[in-house]
Amino acid sequence: MQNPVQNFETLTTCPLCHDDLVIKWKSDNIPFFGEVMYITALCKCSFRFADTIILTQRKPVRYELMIDNVDDLNARVVRSTSGTIRIPELGIDVEPGTASESYVTNIEGVLDRIQNVVVMASKWVKDDEKKHALSLEILKKLDGAKLGKQKLNIIIEDPLGNSAIISNKAVSKTLTQDESKDLKTGMIVFDIDSSEMSVDTSDLAKSIGE
């Protein structure tokens, strides 16, 4: 029997305006994956934060799913703030940054998010014929994938183990320390080996043509 969903709130200080900030915590149980905690905060000054934490201790992980039909679009995706999404066929890497948010969606939802970014980027590079053509080709492949006519390999890598693709077709593996050391986390990380604290300030995604 599953534990009932637990909701509670904690009070902290907004890092931007220093006013009181309420953090909302909500637990959930994702079939075949386990218990997770959703964390959200929204301040009146516009600061916001969201994350999904897998409550079971996890090792650095990589999930990979080849989508080749419309049924694959329904595979559930848990993307934490420390998750990097890669689509090799499109040359796209979506890396976490300090403003990145977590979400639970499906493969189609991931493609929609990427498509929205590419549409915006295509407007920025409309005066660059080569980059604009590349953005249109990426959009064409994304549309094809959502119709089940374009094969795409969806990869999620997470050094904290808080992201996943939940599908019988998904292939997962534990990353070695060497494989995970260069992955972005999008958060403050304390390295117990070096006793130093660092802040990950990576961009959310690589620009078209980079």
Residue 120 has pLDDT above 80, yes or no: yes
Range of the domain at 62: 58-199
Confidence grade of residue 191 (pLDDT, cut at 50, 70, 90) = very low
One DSSP character per residue, 37-69 reads EEEEEE-TTS-EEEEEEESS----EEEEEEE-S
pLDDT at residue 143, rounded to an integer: 94
pLDDT digits (tens, 9 = 90+) for 49-101: 887 776 766 789 999 999 999 999 999 998 887 889 999 998 888 888 766 67
CATH of the domain at 17: 2.20.25
Tell me, yes or no, whether 85 and 168 share the same domain. yes
Contact (CB, 8 A) for 165 and 75: yes
Residue 14 lies in a domain: yes
Residue 169 has pLDDT above 80, yes or no: yes
Tell me, yes or no, whether 112 and 191 share the same domain. yes
Tell me, yes or no, whether 179 and 160 share the same domain. yes
pLDDT at residue 100, rounded to an integer: 67
Q: Note if the pTM is more than 0.85.
A: no
Residue 122 lies in a domain: yes
Percentage of residues in the chain having pLDDT higher than 90: 35
Percentage of residues in the chain having pLDDT higher than 70: 80
What is d(CA 47, CA 67) in angstroms, rounded to the nearest whole number? 36
